[in-house]
Amino acid sequence: MKASEYLTNYQSVVNTDPEKTLTFDWETYWDSKTFTLKKMSMEEYIRDPRFKCHGVGVQLGSKPAHWVYGEESIVKFFDTVPLDNLTVVGQNVAFDGLILNDIYGVHPKAYIDTWSMSTMAYGNVLAKNSLAALTKTFLPGMVKDRTALYNTDGIRDLTPEMAEELGEYCKMDCYLTHELYKFFLPKLLATPFNMDLIDHVTRMYTNPVLELDHDVLNDLLAREIVEKQAAVDSCVATSAKQLNSNKQFATLLESQGATVPMKPSPSNPTKNTYAFAKTDRAFTDMTKDSNPEVAALVTARLRVKTNINETRASNYLGVESRGKWPVHLNISGARTTHRLSGGAGGGGNPQNLGNGSPLRYAIKPPEGFRMFAIDSKGIELRDAMTLANEREVVKRLHDPTFDLYSVFGTEIYNCELAQIDKPRRDVGKVACLQLQYGSGGPTFKDVAWNRGVDLELEEAERIKGLYRSTFTNITRTWRACDRIIQMLVGGEEEETWFSHLVRPVVNGPGGHHALLLVETGTYITYPNLKREYDKEERRWQYMYDTFDNKTYRLVRTGIWGSKMFGHICQSLARNVVLEQEVALDTFLKNEIHHTCTTAMSVHDEAVCLVPDHADHDKAMAGALEIFSTSPVWWPELPVYGEAGWGDNYGEAK
């Protein structure tokens, strides 16, 4: 079968029949003071020498659940009930699956996660997705009682009474999980892609294959420590603590005659707080202060406060000492757009390893495999232009050599294409990517500066105006989205030229206003959408509830046409890329070698492993074909894949 045919025939591996699934729930030793998932990652907890399985609850279909207690009984169960032809269902099934893989060497045919199903089906509607919260919301009358679990706190060897009580608790969890699965399933059957995606992403964690390079991480950690100490030594501070403490650092600045930069507090705009972040322009400008001591202090503070490489290198060294690296991703972790978000279950968020991150060079294939990375080039730009019917641009985007960033750069600088150097192209790139979602001049200026492009406000405003006058169909689509918002609040569903892709729904998940993503049957949700006074913005606007990943609660936020347009573009880009990724994974396994795998997903990029003895040219050609084939549900969209081999993730592409 041709590689691109897997986009429509990717041979679903998930048997979704509720009566042919096996619901799983482990009960393990824990101690609320020293050994708990509240203080450890899942990987660290499961691979710790203290780890112990008390027992496991198993439920086949709707039949009564069974409690398999004790190590001997668990091993016997796996010997008599092979899972290689069964789909395993669990709440946070990544935890259950890593235990199956690491402790018992058991590999089910497929995984289904009810946590992921809930986020995929309900998005922003749900503030909490724990088993207890989902039970309370969707299974009225049923209660998750944790008493039996709490009674095992710190107890490694259970009494017969404790084991029996824990078993009843575990069987109830299996029952509740299975009932939730049956509840969510009909909402996700518009395409088999939804369930295959859950299995695909779950396996990146439960069946880890990537390795972490000890020497690279160790060298990086040592270098970070040396450079931070050098930063301290380069200024008048006596310790890193002085630089890290906002109050002490402010005192240091004042001692050198500097004015301490302040800004409105994000949590309380009526009060001021220190403007010491790397995104605070007034602060970072002080690295060029005429007083060399002030410049040295600010430079040192910025260096000492940059902790991601040091923290992540330390965490990854811990993972490396225990085994392969499980890549933890959350399905629909971005609750509005359904894009993947990074989880902390494998030592740190795998989604925030930027292009220049030295940590990328520590991620490598296992012995006997080669690695390549492939991404869907400029996918958000492409689907924004296609959705808005910018016909001339879309026509030219079918040519892989066409570079809109440079072409728009010629408009910005009124010059020939040959005169667009890297700095000018960078301006064109930031403009195209930022202004398509309606940024005003000040926001565009700030975002451009954070991306290394320094613009005066007047120039930022000029470029913004030029963008809007050049791409008039983009602005027309913003206005269409403004109309959608107004109509939804009024209880009506506005039809648009893109209703075959996305259409408004008054009565969406939970009875809330939403946009239906037609291909997947999932929704961009806008809970409690209405026009109200925004105290922070000090104006009337449309607002809705959205999930805050920092506080883990729903907060009110504004919505307008260009912002909704961004949600649509990001959601469609997510569906395009992840469909390509699932198709690629199936192609590699079926056409190249069964041990091939897509081991990691980073935004619009997939990282794949191919055995040394396999046909690498065929693998790469197939990958590029898949990533350069328009989806059947959006044939007008020009897509293009870029890929490259490497000895590690940093070198790939």
Q: Helix (H, G, I), strand (E, B), or coil: what is residue 229?
A: helix
The confidence band for 338, taking pLDDT boundaries of 50, 70 and 90, is very high
Residue 613 in any domain: the answer is: no
Residue 57 in any domain: the answer is: yes
Residue 481 has pLDDT above 90, yes or no: yes
Residues 6+ apart with CB under 8 A from 415: 424
Q: What is the pLDDT of residue 421?
A: 94
Residue 138 in any domain: the answer is: yes
The confidence band for 13, taking pLDDT boundaries of 50, 70 and 90, is confident
Residue 6 in any domain: the answer is: no
Do 149 and 29 lie in one domain? The reply is: yes
Which H, E and C letters describe 448-502, residue by residue? HHHCCCCCCHHHHHHHHHHHHHHCHHHHHHHHHHHHHHHHHHCCCCCCCCCCCCE
Q: Within 10 A of 240 (CB to CB), how many other CB atoms are there?
A: 17
Mean pLDDT of 359-371: 97
Which H, E and C letters describe 314-369, residue by residue? HHHHHHHHHCCCCCCEECCCCCCCCCCEECCCCCCCHHHCCCCCHHHHHEECCCCE
Dist CA 16 CA 197 (whole Å): 13
Q: What is the pLDDT of residue 268?
A: 78
Residue 118 in any domain: the answer is: yes
CA dihedral 145, 147, 150, 152 (to 10 degrees): -120
Do 67 and 161 lie in one domain? The reply is: yes
Mean pLDDT of 80-85: 92
Residue for token pair 């490259």:
644
Q: What is the pLDDT of residue 353?
A: 86
Residue 174, token pair as written in the block: 């299996």
Do 164 and 270 lie in one domain? The reply is: no
The confidence band for 554, taking pLDDT boundaries of 50, 70 and 90, is confident
Do 182 and 236 lie in one domain? The reply is: no
Q: What is the pLDDT of residue 10?
A: 63
Do 263 and 165 lie in one domain? The reply is: no
Residue 146 has pLDDT above 90, yes or no: no
Q: What is the pLDDT of residue 533?
A: 86
Q: What is the mean pLDDT of the chain?
A: 94
Q: What is the pLDDT of residue 319?
A: 97
Residue 372 in any domain: the answer is: no
Q: What is the pLDDT of residue 149?
A: 92
Q: Which range marks the domain in which residue 222 is found?
A: 214-309
Residue for token pair 């079968």:
1
Q: What is the pLDDT of residue 174?
A: 98
The number of distinct structural domains making up the chain is 3
Q: Are 320 and 214 in contact (CB under 8 A)?
A: yes
Q: What is the pLDDT of residue 355?
A: 82
Q: Are 458 and 425 in contact (CB under 8 A)?
A: no
Q: How far apart are the first and last CA of the chain?
A: 26
Q: Within 10 A of 114 (CB to CB), how many other CB atoms are there?
A: 27
Do 277 and 400 lie in one domain? The reply is: no
Do 302 and 422 lie in one domain? The reply is: no
Last residue of some domain: 275, 309, 343? 309
Domain with residue 166: its CATH number is: 3.30.420.10
pLDDT tens digit sequence for 487-497:
999 999 989 99
DSSP letter, residue 389: T
Residue 356 has pLDDT above 90, yes or no: no
Do 264 and 400 lie in one domain? The reply is: no
Residue (of 613, 586, 607, 611) closest to 4 by Cα position = 586
Q: What is the pLDDT of residue 238?
A: 84
Residue 594 in any domain: the answer is: no
Q: Helix (H, G, I), strand (E, B), or coil: what is residue 170?
A: helix
Dist CA 570 CA 577 (whole Å): 10
Residue 291 has pLDDT above 90, yes or no: yes
501 vs 146 pLDDT, higher one? 501
Could you tell me the CA-to-CA distances from 2 to 72, 112, 171, 464, 635 in Å, in that order?
A: 47, 28, 46, 44, 18
Do 261 and 174 lie in one domain? The reply is: no
- Ramachandran area for residue 53 (φ above 0: left; ψ -120 to 50: alpha; else beta): beta
Mean pLDDT of 142-148: 85
Q: Are 79 and 186 in contact (CB under 8 A)?
A: no
Q: What is the pLDDT of residue 469?
A: 97
Q: Are 180 and 91 in contact (CB under 8 A)?
A: yes
Do 275 and 227 lie in one domain? The reply is: yes
Last residue of some domain: 188, 205, 237? 188
Do 233 and 151 lie in one domain? The reply is: no
Residue 221 in any domain: the answer is: yes
Mean pLDDT of 127-131: 93
Mean pLDDT of 310-322: 96
Q: Within 10 A of 614 (CB to CB), how many other CB atoms are there?
A: 18
Q: What is the pLDDT of residue 390?
A: 98
pLDDT tens digit sequence for 198-240:
999 999 999 999 999 999 999 999 999 999 999 999 998 888 8
Q: What is the pLDDT of residue 8?
A: 86
Last residue of some domain: 271, 289, 309? 309
Lowest mean pLDDT among 25-34, 77-86, 611-620: 77-86
Do 270 and 182 lie in one domain? The reply is: no
Q: What is the pLDDT of residue 143?
A: 80
